[in-house]
């Protein structure tokens, strides 16, 4: 009863008479509270003003980073065409698969089953596929780049949250390994890495466009904002190469390398009127769109990157410069007996003792002694000037990456024995392309013409090196060298006259020469009276019993010349098939 009355009394006490209100509150405390509230208010007002007025641009950018994206619109890479408009390289749509791992619910049995289907479609082992989704960066990972469109459509139909596709392009190369060293290839980012793909990257690639969009949190495009910049498509590149000539040259080269158990080989075919490269083949080769386990041996464009001592193919040049200087005529006698000559501590020899030869005979029999005696009639600078005019010791002016300059030392440093050995192709180095290009001076009536890998049907204007009469005289000697009694009768063709020079040289190993390793080649032209093409063939390290250029390289030259002239609709200049008896052909080297 007492407690109840006490509670009732407490409830009946008015608030105004509360003892708490009776105590006096210090004024400073009230002012402090009011001041704090005022400071907070002004701080918030200032912050609001900064966000909405002064720092507005910054915060807008930060917001856009979270929902706005600039999408790249890839440009379609230009095509590479042969001289007749046939495709050598083109691009096809190849979507790439990517994922946001944190958005994929791998605990869901249905999702796991779909992911297994994706791995099978992509032909990926399950453990490899799972490892891609377990990366540290859970916001993005490439699953597989550039898959075929039918596969991409099947993956899209599975509708897996967190698995997306991006439109990309993949290159296709219809001519495969036959034209691989000419065309080259691109990487997975569609950037040129070798060959024409690299040399004309800027023209082929074009320029990517862009599109500004707003995306939701799942990465889906909600709407476009701003103007779209369309892509600038890549420009097509038309080459001078004839894909049919290229394929035939590659096929015959491959057969020869295989038959002679050689290490490698190359073929160069030039148009003797326009300077266009009609074929540039190498073996071994590779498939440009299947480069797994690719080796350096396959990748090298040997016709442009490998240099070697040209050997006997330099003898016609030695004769031509002596003719031009007026030191000899085609019938000048040259005594090569007894087939051996001591010079500067070295012994220079021929395969046989040919005795007294004319200048024409020196080329026909490929006499080293005869060539060096002709060179001795020249001053070193005269020889050096001619070699330089023909492009030796200089990087070829060709629209192609990787071409090398070779080696030609300054004439002031030549010793007499070095001048002598250069007369028959030792002591300087060149690529097969440089050798073929230098022979355009004979084919084009004394003018060295510029070479090009781009289609250019107009006749080329060349730089005079020899007179037209002397060029024709050397062509007659080349015809003798490729005829019975010369070193290259197997170079003859059906219906067309040919002329050329075989060469065989020991390979350099360290500071010396290997006794059982050779390079064999044949360089020439046809038809001989009015040359239409220049062809050079090189076989590296033939090891099946034959190694002379006249036996190993000349037959390839013959087949390539005959087929190329027919494809070019060049009328035959011989009425009957020449009767050639294949004999053991020997030449000095």
Closest to 410 in 3D by CA, of 401, 402, 421, 419:
419
Residue 286's pLDDT is 93
CA distances from 293 to 142, 189, 265, 297 (A): 22, 19, 21, 11
- How far is residue 184's CA from residue 287's CA, in Å, rounded to a whole number? 10
Strand ranges (E), 236-381: 237-238, 264-271, 277-283, 307-308, 333-335, 340-343, 346-349, 356-358
- How far is residue 303's CA from residue 436's CA, in Å, rounded to a whole number? 10
Take residue 280 and report the two structure tokens written for it: 């540039």
Residue 538's pLDDT is 96
CA angle 222, 225, 229 (to 5 degrees): 120
- How far is residue 226's CA from residue 214's CA, in Å, rounded to a whole number? 10
Architecture of domain 243-567 in this structure? 3-Layer(aba) Sandwich (3.40)
The terminus-to-terminus CA distance of the chain in angstroms comes to 138
Query: Does an H or E element contain 214, and which?
Result: strand 209-215
Take residue 553 and report the two structure tokens written for it: 């390289």
- How far is residue 537's CA from residue 12's CA, in Å, rounded to a whole number? 123
Residue 81's pLDDT is 97
Residue 168's pLDDT is 83
Q: Is the peptide bond before 43 cis (omega within 30 degrees of 0)?
A: no
Looking only at Cα atoms, what is the longest distance across the chain? 157
Take residue 193 and report the two structure tokens written for it: 């890495």
Residue 185's pLDDT is 93
- In 10 A of CB 67, how many CB atoms? 12
CA distances from 285 to 166, 177, 288 (A): 32, 6, 9
- How far is residue 33's CA from residue 27's CA, in Å, rounded to a whole number? 10
Per-residue pLDDT of the chain (589 residues; tens, 9 = 90+): 444 554 554 455 565 666 655 666 677 777 788 888 888 888 888 778 777 777 677 766 666 665 666 666 778 899 999 999 999 999 888 888 988 888 888 888 898 899 999 999 998 998 888 888 887 667 788 889 888 889 999 999 998 888 888 888 889 999 999 999 999 999 888 899 999 999 999 999 988 777 766 666 555 665 666 677 787 889 999 999 999 999 999 999 999 999 999 999 999 999 999 999 999 999 999 999 887 777 778 888 999 999 999 989 999 999 999 999 999 999 999 999 999 998 878 889 998 999 999 999 999 999 999 999 999 999 999 999 999 999 999 999 898 888 999 999 999 999 999 999 999 998 899 999 999 999 999 999 999 999 999 998 888 889 999 999 999 999 999 999 999 999 999 999 999 999 999 988 878 776 677 778 889 999 999 999 999 999 999 999 999 889 899 999 999 999 999 999 999 999 998 875 544 444 545 666 6
Strand, coil or helix: what is 166? strand
Residue 584's pLDDT is 45
Residue 400's pLDDT is 87
Query: Does an H or E element contain 43, and which?
Result: helix 27-49
Query: Does an H or E element contain 28, and which?
Result: helix 27-49
Relative orientation angle of helices 149-157 and 109-121, to the nearest 10 degrees: 180
Take residue 123 and report the two structure tokens written for it: 């032909």
Residue 508's pLDDT is 73
Residues in the chain: 589
- How far is residue 500's CA from residue 209's CA, in Å, rounded to a whole number? 54
User: Are 17 and 9 contacting, i.e. CB atoms less than 8 angstroms apart?
Assistant: no
- How far is residue 576's CA from residue 11's CA, in Å, rounded to a whole number? 139
User: Could you tell me the fold of the domain covering 65-101+169-239?
Assistant: Penicillin-binding protein 2a (Domain 2) (3.90.1310)
Do domains 65-101+169-239 and 243-567 share one topology? The answer is no
User: Are 286 and 175 contacting, i.e. CB atoms less than 8 angstroms apart?
Assistant: no
Eight-class DSSP state of 103:
G
Per domain, the residue ranges of the chain are 65-101+169-239, 243-567
Strand, coil or helix: what is 207? strand
Residue 581's pLDDT is 47
Residues labelled as active-site residues: 312
Residue 64's pLDDT is 62
Q: What does R_g of the chain's alpha carbons equal in angstroms? A: 39
């Amino acid at each position: 009863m007492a407690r109840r009355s006490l509670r009732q009394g407490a409830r009946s006490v008015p608030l105004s008479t509360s003892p708490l209100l009776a105590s006096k509150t210090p004024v400073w405390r009230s002012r402090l509270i009011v001041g704090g509230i005022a400071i907070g208010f002004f701080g918030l007002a200032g912050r609001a003003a900064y966000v909405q007025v002064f720092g507005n641009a910054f915060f807008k950018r930060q917001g856009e980073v979270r929902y706005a994206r600039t999408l790249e619109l890839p440009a379609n890479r230009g095509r590479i065409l042969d001289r007749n408009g046939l495709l050598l390289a083109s691009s096809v749509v190849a979507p790439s698969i990517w994922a946001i791992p944190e958005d994929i619910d791998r605990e869901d049995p249905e999702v796991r089953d779909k992911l297994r289907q994706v791995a099978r479609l992509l032909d990926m082992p399950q453990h490899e596929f799972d490892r891609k989704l377990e990366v540290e960066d859970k916001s993005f990972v490439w699953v597989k780049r550039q898959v075929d469109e039918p596969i991409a459509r099947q993956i899209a139909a599975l509708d897996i949250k967190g698995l997306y596709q991006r439109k990309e392009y993949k290159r296709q190369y219809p001519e495969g390994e036959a034209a691989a060293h000419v065309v080259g290839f691109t990487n997975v980012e569609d950037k040129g890495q070798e060959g024409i793909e690299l040399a004309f990257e800027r023209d082929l690639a074009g320029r990517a466009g862009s599109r500004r969009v707003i995306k939701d949190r799942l990465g889906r495009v909600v709407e476009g904002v701003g103007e779209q910049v369309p892509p600038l498509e890549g420009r097509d590149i038309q080459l001078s190469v004839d894909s049919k000539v290229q394929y035939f040259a590659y096929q015959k080269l491959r057969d020869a390398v295989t038959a002679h158990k050689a290490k490698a080989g190359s073929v160069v075919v030039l148009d003797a009127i326009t300077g266009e490269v009609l074929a540039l083949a190498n073996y071994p080769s590779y498939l440009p769109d299947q480069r797994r386990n690719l080796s350096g041996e396959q990748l090298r464009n040997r016709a442009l990157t490998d240099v070697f001592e040209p050997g006997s193919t330099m003898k016609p040049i030695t004769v031509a410069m002596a003719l031009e200087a007026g030191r000899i005529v085609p019938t000048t006698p040259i005594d090569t007996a007894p087939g051996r000559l001591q010079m500067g501590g070295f012994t220079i020899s021929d395969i046989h003792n040919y005795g007294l030869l004319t200048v024409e005979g020196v080329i026909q029999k490929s006499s080293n002694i005869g060539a060096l005696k002709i060179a001795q009639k020249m001053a070193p600078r005269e020889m050096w000037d001619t070699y330089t005019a023909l492009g030796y010791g200089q990087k070829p002016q060709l629209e192609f990456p990787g071409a090398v300059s070779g080696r030609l030392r300054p004439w002031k440093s030549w010793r007499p024995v070095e001048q002598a050995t250069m007369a028959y192709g030792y002591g300087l180095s060149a690529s097969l392309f440089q050798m073929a290009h230098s022979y355009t001076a004979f084919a084009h009536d004394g003018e060295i013409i510029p070479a090009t890998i781009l289609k250019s049907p107009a006749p080329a204007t060349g730089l005079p090196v020899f007179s037209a009469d002397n060029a024709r005289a050397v062509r007659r000697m080349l015809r003798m060298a490729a005829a019975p009694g010369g070193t290259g009768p197997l170079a003859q063709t059906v219906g067309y006259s040919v002329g050329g020079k075989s060469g065989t040289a020991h390979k350099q190993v360290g500071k010396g020469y290997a006794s059982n390793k050779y390079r064999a080649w044949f360089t020439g032209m046809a038809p001989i009276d009015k040359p239409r093409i220049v062809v050079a063939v090189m076989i590296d390290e033939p090891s099946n019993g034959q190694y002379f250029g006249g036996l190993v390289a000349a037959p390839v030259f013959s087949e390539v010349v005959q087929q190329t002239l027919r494809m070019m609709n060049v009328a035959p200049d011989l009425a009957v098939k020449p009767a050639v008896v294949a004999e053991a052909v020997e030449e000095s080297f």
